[in-house]
Amino acid sequence: MTVLIAAYKDDPAAVNISKKLIAKYSFIETDKTSAGMPIYQKDNLLLAYLEIDDIYADNLDQRFHADTIIFASRHRSESEEPTLTTHVSGNLTSEARFGGMPNKLALAHPNMMKAALLGLKSAKETLRLDRYQVSLEATHHGPTELHVPSLFVEIGSSEKQWQDACAAEAVADAIYSSATKPAVAEPSVGFGGGHYSPKLTQVSLGEEFSVGHILPKYFFDNFNPSMVRLAFERTLGECLTAVIDWKGVRGPERRKLVELLESLDVKVIRV
C-alpha cells in the first residue's frame, strides 16, 4: 500500500512539517520531482510537494497512484488559537467556496485519523506543547473527488504557529504514526458540536470508536438526509455507527436525525 504525504510548496506549515519528516524519519531523495522539488521516499511512503493548494488537489491519486493520501497542512482561524488538528475533507452544503464539489465528501479513513489524533496528543505531551489544543475538526473544504481515502493533519492557527518547529515535529510524528500504524477501532460518523468537537475528540481518543466525518451543529440549519447517508457511504470499513454529541444538536433536529439513522440500521452512540 502506497501512502502519499502531500505538502503544498507555498504553505509554510506544510514545508516545515515535511522538513521534519524527511530529517527525523530518514526519507530518501528520489530522482523524481513534483512542483520543481524532489520527491522523497521511505519504504512505502512517498512525500511530494504540490504546485497548487491541497484543497484543490482532486487528481492527486491519479498522478501518484497512491492508496491513501495524507495532507500536511496549515489551519487558519480568526481566534489564532494554537491547535493541532486532523479532519477529513468535504462540502456538507451546496456551497464549495474552498475547493471540491458541492454536496460531496472525500473518502474518510477513521482509523488513520484516530492514529493521527493519538499521535498529536502524544507529541503534545512529549514536546511540551502545553498551549496547543489537540482536536478533530468537522468535515470541511476540498478536495472531494479523490478515489482513495485522505485526511488532513494540521498546525493552527496563524503564521506564528506555522513556523513553530516543535509544532511541526508534532504533526510530523502524527503523520508518520498514521501512515505506518493505523488504529484498530470501530469506524463511525460524528454528529453535532461546533467546528471543533471536544466530545467527539475524546471519543476518538478512547479505545472503542474512531470518528471520521463530522457533521456539526450548523449542518442541521439546512438538514439534508442525503448527506447523512453519504457520510456513511464515504467512510472506509462498512461504517454503521453514529456518535452523537447529544447536547450539540438541537432537540427537533436530533429527533429527525435519530429517526433517519434508525431507518438505515445505524447504531447510535450518545455522548
Residue 47 pLDDT level (bands cut at 50, 70, 90): very high
Q: State yes or no: pLDDT of 270 exceeds 90.
A: yes
pLDDT digits (tens, 9 = 90+) for 125-179: 999 999 999 999 999 999 999 999 999 999 999 999 999 999 999 999 999 999 9
What whole-number distance in Å separates Cα of residue 226 and Cα of residue 168? 37
188 close to 242: Cβ distance less than 8 angstroms: yes
The rounded mean pLDDT for the chain is 97
Residue % of the chain over a pLDDT of 90: 96
- Mean pLDDT of the 215-235 span: 97
Q: State yes or no: pLDDT of 194 exceeds 90.
A: yes
DSSP 76-116: E-TT---EEEEE--EE-SS--TTSS-TTEEPPB-HHHHHHH
Q: State yes or no: pLDDT of 200 exceeds 90.
A: yes
- Mean pLDDT of the 199-221 span: 97
What's the pLDDT at 174?
A: 98
Q: State yes or no: pLDDT of 241 exceeds 90.
A: yes
What's the pLDDT at 206?
A: 98
- Mean pLDDT of the 27-44 span: 98
Residue % of the chain over a pLDDT of 70: 100
Q: What's the pTM?
A: 0.97
- Mean pLDDT of the 224-242 span: 97
Q: State yes or no: pLDDT of 121 exceeds 90.
A: yes
Say which residue, 189 or 157, is predicted with more confidence.
189
pLDDT digits (tens, 9 = 90+) for 62-92: 899 999 999 999 998 878 899 999 999 999 9
What's the pLDDT at 80?
A: 87
The edge-to-edge listing of strands for the beta sheet with 150-157 is: 28-34, 37-42, 45-50, 3-8, 68-76, 150-157, 83-87, 133-136
- Cβ neighbour number for residue 3 with a 10 Å cutoff: 24
What's the pLDDT at 104?
A: 98
Grid coordinates given for 256: 429527525
66 close to 147: Cβ distance less than 8 angstroms: no
**Residue closest to 117 by CA, chosen among 190, 184, 177, 44:** 177
- Mean pLDDT of the 50-54 span: 97
3-class state of residue 242 by DSSP: strand
Q: State yes or no: pLDDT of 42 exceeds 90.
A: yes
What's the pLDDT at 196?
A: 94
Q: Which of 246-255's residues contact partners 24+ apart within 8 Å by CB, and which partners?
A: 246/192, 246/270, 246/271, 247/192, 248/191, 248/192, 248/193, 248/194, 248/197, 248/199, 248/216, 248/217, 249/191, 249/192, 249/217, 249/220, 250/217, 250/220, 253/220, 253/223, 254/192
What's the pLDDT at 40?
A: 98
Rg of the chain, C-alpha, whole Å: 18
Domains of the chain as residue ranges with CATH: 3-270 (3.40.630.50)
